[in-house]
Chains A and B, each alone.
Chain A
Amino acid sequence: MDESVEHLRDEILERIGRCASESEVEQLRVDALGRKGQLTQLLRGLKELPAEDRPKVGEQLNQFRRLAEERIEQRLVSLKAEARARMLSGEKVDITLPGSRWERGRIHPLTLAMDEIIDIFLGMGFEVARGPDIEDDYHNFEALNMPKDHPARDMQDTFFVSQNRVLRTHTSPVQIRTMERRKPPLQVIAPGAVYRHDDDATHSPMFHQVEGFMVDRRITFADLKGVLTHFLRQVFREDAGVRFRPSFFPFTEPSAEVDIACVICGGKSSTSNQSSCRVCKGSGWLEILGAGMIDPEVFRFVGYDPEKVSGFAFGMGVERIAMLKFGIEDIRMFFQNDLRFLRQFR
């Protein structure tokens, strides 16, 4: 090969390697391969060579051209990669900085607890019913087998808004109102606010209950136990201890108080020493529900034949369940709406 050609090739290849930017590479491409470039000049000079040399030198020059083009492309690729790598490393963030977002509002813990309770019963095929907060004496007491002057009325200190109207002391009147309107089969829950003339760390003049009842042919006390055990194990733990013990409500018979094994000490303090657990006061059990088979008298008030249908009813305090689930000690926290408290719920 002509020495000048070889020299030019080496020089161009070396210059490609030295290019520090894409524009330098492009400039070089023009200088070497462009219309007036050095290589183009050489190719143009071919016709001045002897005819027999032309094919060989031509082939050499073309090889040289292909090689230069290839190197230029390679150089461009690597320069792009270097530039991207520099850009990326220059844009590195501190991933420990806080994410930026709007603060979401919170749903009140009582609503959270209420929703959980409602959903479990909806899943079991119950419907939701509602009733007024201001109730008449008949629905709040009378039809629930609590005639005037019945000692059971003392169990519920009552707010009066007139001679005959009260702030409902429980959600049980919704039972009566629903049965007055409809015929069995019924499986209904009634969530809502209730009121008692009471105010301290464990009692609020207003709190929330979920009442529930199921009426059909041959609904039994065993069914009551099955439904409530299933419910409590969903709200608390799948293996939670549940016990039913006799109690008294004027509108159910038999009546039961339903306890779960203490969620704090796991029921252990009943077997060991007294007074070890603050929440269950050492009994190992927590009262969580009142329940029973609907009293035949109640069926008579709503015009059902107690010989043909039977049913159970239950009621629970939502605050109590929320307090146990979330470890809240003072019921008044629910109604102060301190954001430092409410923000703890998701």
Chain B
Amino acid sequence: MKLTLNWLKEFVAFSGSPQQMAELLTMAGLEVESLAPVSSPEDQQDDWALEVAVTPNRGDCLSIQGLAREVAALRGAKLKAKATASPFAAARAEAPVKVEIRSPRCCRRYSAAVLDSVQVGASPAWMRFRLETCGIRSINNVVDVTNYVMLETGQPLHAFDLDRLGAKRIVVRQAAEIGKFVTLDEVERELAPEDLLICDGDVPVALAGIMGGRDSEVHAGTPALLLESAHFEPLTIRRTAKRLALHSEASHRFERGVDAEGTIYALDRAASLLAQVAGARPAGRVVDRYPRRAKAASILLRRQRAQDILGVELSAGEIEKILKSLGCKVQRRGKGAFQVAPPSARGDLSREADLIEEIARLRGYDKIPPTLPVARLHGERADARLRGERAMRSYLAGEGLTETIHLPFSSAELNRRFYGFHRDGAAAVAVLNPLVQESAEMRLSLLPGLIEDFKLNLAQRVKGFAGYALGKVFSLSPEGEPRERQQLAALVYGKRERTGLRVEPAPYSFLTAKGLVEGILEQVGIGERVAWTNSAVPAFLHPGQSACLELDQRTVGYVGEIHPDLSEGLSLPRYGVLELDFEGLVQYPPSQITVRSLPRFPSVERDMAVVVDESFQARRIIDWIKSLGHSLIENVEVFDHYRGANIPAGKKSLAYTISYRAEDRTLTDGEVQALHQELLSQMSGLFDAQLRG
């Protein structure tokens, strides 16, 4: 709502500065968003323009007079009334129109007046200046007066060219079978049966409360007017305005509630202004149809309740004074209670809570001293998930991975390519009203976001990139219900960055990516429960450099290089990714830590190297040795994997280290040697493995 300070001051005395006015309104919940000096070169007016953000509950403040009432209440000032002699007081004759309300549920009141001897022309400079300062374009003196009165009183008015109303019989009704209507902006509107229309007989002439029609618009030669000043129900107007995406100053006000008691005053004010600027004269009395008078609200307010909600002591006198300053009728009801009838303009005041808010607001929020409530100790530890996420972020930062956050939107194409754990082709959640087509679906995987980051940073010539995201992905269940799940994904490329003198670290590989996954599982505390498999890796991964992670027969992760077809397709170098069902992993309680006593005797390590087929999996030998359950074999690990010189084609060399230890004595060299030899000879027979020197 835009207004000028001088206009406001025509209705309420205010001697402070424009800044003080802005402060006063802002601190009363009518935030002044801008304040600027304005001046009219035509008639040397100097004024201030204010823009007030009026919240949707305060339709009454979408007018100069409404704001003046607020200022008066806040400052204890008197409202200045305009001279109230009605221009229609002297009219004896019936107005030459009839009014019929067929939809009283949508139209509570319809007041109308006819004016003749109209001289349509330009408005005076002072009026044009005010309208334009308030953001309304000047059209002609008739239309300008209707707008001026709307800004001043909050009551939207509409002027019809009386000569173009052939039937001179206003009918307020729903559109029903009338399917189309051309509004004054020359657009043909498709009507819904429940849209409210103003008709002249059977002919629609206005979309009630929203916009007039092209064919009854006031023009340069219009000699007589029908002025409409009506009350339409907020919901009726809102539904139609929203459906047609047609929002006007009038509909904005009707949607937020207009004072049904104010229609006649607005007609009087408009008629006297039209007399002044367009020579118009009343032709007959005002026609006023008011089939559904609103019952004035009567609210019980308890002083104790107000004190309990606000946390301050309030005297009965103070409560009464505040409510009366707002125009409420207040009656005391015994000890500590009031029966309150708010003014008709304040449709937002209907409950005790509304009155308590008004007491706090008028008193000033700053007059309520802050207190700290006594917190109850609930004894719960900080949310386990939160702790898990924080530990994970800290672990990943230590591993050199930077956290990224993305919008969760994706395109149908990206979802088809990077389907995460939805190999069954589960449907993505579609956004019905996406901002752009590239974000028409919710993501199935976190990878596309990370790939986007990778591209962006690659353009900055980074030597390495390691990023991760911890966020939700979305899909539809077979029943069509949306599901969401928190996942963890990472993308690694190139060399991990080091500071200091240059040393060349090894680039990220499948094994470093797998190492990350192992570290994550260890962090979560479920490393032992998970199985690695490469039987069914997703199609977007390199088939030879990827693996899946299974937990209770469910795939909970994958790791590997992006399929070279895809990286080349996006002109990207080769890079590794991983994605884990974080929610699925952290739902298991972490394994219990039970400390073993430290060994008292030293261990002895022996290495061995074997040449095996390329396809031989290193893990087999480890599993076999462990399966022996030999009490003196403490551990076995693979420490080297080699192809190349000295190894025949189609073969590879694997090297293991075995540690031997007895619980009760120091093993002798001879004992270890004998054990180790025995192990080697069994193994070479079993695995067709050739021992290397």
Interface of A with B (CB < 8 Å)?
Answer: 97-108, 110-111, 115, 118, 122, 124-125, 127-128, 130, 132-134, 149-152, 154-155, 159-162, 165, 167, 185, 187, 193, 197, 199, 204-206, 214, 216, 218-223, 225-227, 229-230, 243-248, 253-257, 274, 293, 295-296, 310, 334-340, 342-343
Contact = CB atoms under 8 A, between A and B. Distances in A.
B590 interface: no
A227 B370 CA distance: 8
B361 interface: yes
B399 A223 contact: no
Contacts of A103: 400, 496-499
9 contacts: A100-B503, A103-B497, A133-B474, A134-B442, A222-B312, A222-B370, A246-B29, A246-B357, A337-B404
Interface string B379-400: 0101101100010011011111
B235 A105 contact: no
A98 to B, nearest CB: 5
Interface residues of B, number: 92
Contacts of A167: 431
A244 B361 CA distance: 10
Contact of A248 (B56, B405, B503): B56
Nearest to B400: A105
Nearest to B490: A105
B610 to A, nearest CB: 34
Given A255-B357, A310-B309, A226 B482 contact: no
A256 B28 CA distance: 10
Given A100-B498, A106-B397, A223 B373 contact: yes
A193 B486 CA distance: 12
Contacts of A245: 26-29, 31, 365
Given A105-B400, A161-B432, A193-B408, A339 B442 contact: no
Interface stretch (B2-10, B220-228, B455-463, B571-579): B455-463
B309 A293 contact: yes
A218 B398 CA distance: 47
Contacts of B105: none
Nearest to B406: A335
Given A102-B400, A337-B406, A227 B372 contact: yes
Contact of A204 (B308, B353, B354, B407): B407
Contacts of B238: 149, 151
A118 B386 contact: yes
Given A187-B376, A245-B365, A310-B308, A128 B371 contact: no
A342 B406 CA distance: 13
A55 B219 CA distance: 150
Nearest to A135: B482
Interface in B603-622: none
Contacts of B375: 124-125, 187
Contacts of B125: none
A225 to B, nearest CB: 4
B401 A105 contact: yes
B403 A253 contact: no
A133 B26 contact: no
Nearest to B471: A193
B29 A152 contact: no
Most buried by B among A118, A205, A246, A340: A246
B593 interface: no
Contacts of A152: 56
Please give me the 8 A-B residue pairs with the lowest Cβ-Cβ distance, nearest first. Answer: A220-B311, A246-B29, A222-B311, A100-B500, A248-B55, A125-B375, A226-B370, A225-B370
B464 to A, nearest CB: 9
Given A106-B403, A253-B357, 16 more contacts: A100-B500, A110-B405, A125-B376, A134-B482, A149-B238, A150-B56, A204-B407, A205-B407, A220-B308, A221-B368, A225-B371, A227-B372, A229-B370, A230-B372, A296-B351, A337-B402
Contacts of B403: 105-108, 111, 342
B484 interface: yes
A100 B497 CA distance: 11
B85 interface: no
A337 B467 contact: yes
Most buried by A among B29, B351, B405, B433: B405
A205 B434 CA distance: 10
Contact of B354 (A97, A108, A159, A253): A253
Contacts of B361: 246, 254
Nearest to B390: A115
B402 A101 contact: no
B453 interface: yes
Contact of A106 (B402, B432, B433): B402
Contacts of B501: 97-98, 100
Contacts of A342: 402-404
Contacts of B432: 159-162
B498 A101 contact: yes
B582 interface: no
Nearest to B308: A218
Nearest to A310: B309
A248 B57 contact: yes
Most buried by B among A115, A122, A335: A335
Interface in B454-498: 456-457, 460, 462, 465-468, 472, 474, 482, 484, 496-498
A295 B353 contact: yes
A160 B383 contact: no
Interface string B527-553: 000000000000000000000000000
Nearest to A292: B357
B527 to A, nearest CB: 21
Contact of A100 (B55, B386, B499): B499
A284 to B, nearest CB: 10
B158 interface: no
A101 B500 contact: yes
A293 to B, nearest CB: 6
Contacts of B377: 125
A107 B393 contact: yes
Interface in B299-341: 308-312
B499 A105 contact: no
Given A106-B402, A335-B406, A221 B309 contact: yes
B429 interface: yes
Contacts of B371: 220, 222-223, 225-226
Contacts of B397: 104-107
A256 B365 contact: yes
B460 A221 contact: no
Given A100-B499, A107-B397, A124-B375, A335 B405 contact: yes
Nearest to B452: A337
B311 A134 contact: no
Nearest to A134: B482
B429 A227 contact: no
Contacts of B456: 336-338
Contacts of A336: 453, 456
A134 B386 CA distance: 21
Contacts of B655: none
B408 A149 contact: no
B373 A338 contact: no
Contacts of B372: 223, 226-227, 230
B524 interface: no
B239 interface: yes
Contacts of A223: 311, 371-373
B351 A104 contact: no
A149 B357 CA distance: 24
A159 B29 contact: no
Most buried by A among B57, B365, B393: B365
Interface string B424-435: 000001111111
B56 A227 contact: no
B115 interface: no
A345 B382 CA distance: 25
A339 B400 CA distance: 12
B644 interface: no
Contacts of A334: 405
B368 A222 contact: yes
